[in-house]
Amino acid sequence: MKSIGNSDLTWREFLRVEMRVGTILSAEIFKEAKKPAYKIQVDFGEFGIRKTSAQITKLYNTEEIIGRQVVAVINFPKKQIANIMSECLILGGLGSENDVVLLTTERTIKNGTRIG
């Protein structure tokens, strides 16, 4: 098994990461961003609707991601990105050319479902 060095974390630390399922409600080109990105709003059910930015323009257009369920971390501190305050981090796999493949669910499940 390949080790990633001294970055091992405890089970307790892992449980602090709030990875939740949400449905993308809206997506538009983020013109003010330095790198190509979309402004996105995600519905996390009882955890509310949160906005973020995602650099996923290489593989996705705005129309095809609306309605898609994604996995995101919702308990990072808010972060200013250009003119929006990002409230979550949508997760994806990073390809060889820095293209991001969204992490999603196999089947539709309740928004806000915890990943763990």
Encode pLDDT of 43-74 as tens digits: 999 999 999 999 999 999 999 999 999 999 99
CA distances to 8, 19, 56, 57, 106 from 103, rounded to whole Å, are 22, 11, 12, 15, 10
Check whether 106 has a pLDDT greater than 70.
yes
Give the CATH class of 16-102. mainly beta
The Cα–Cα gap between 5 and 85 comes to 33
Q: What is the per-residue pLDDT for 5?
A: 64
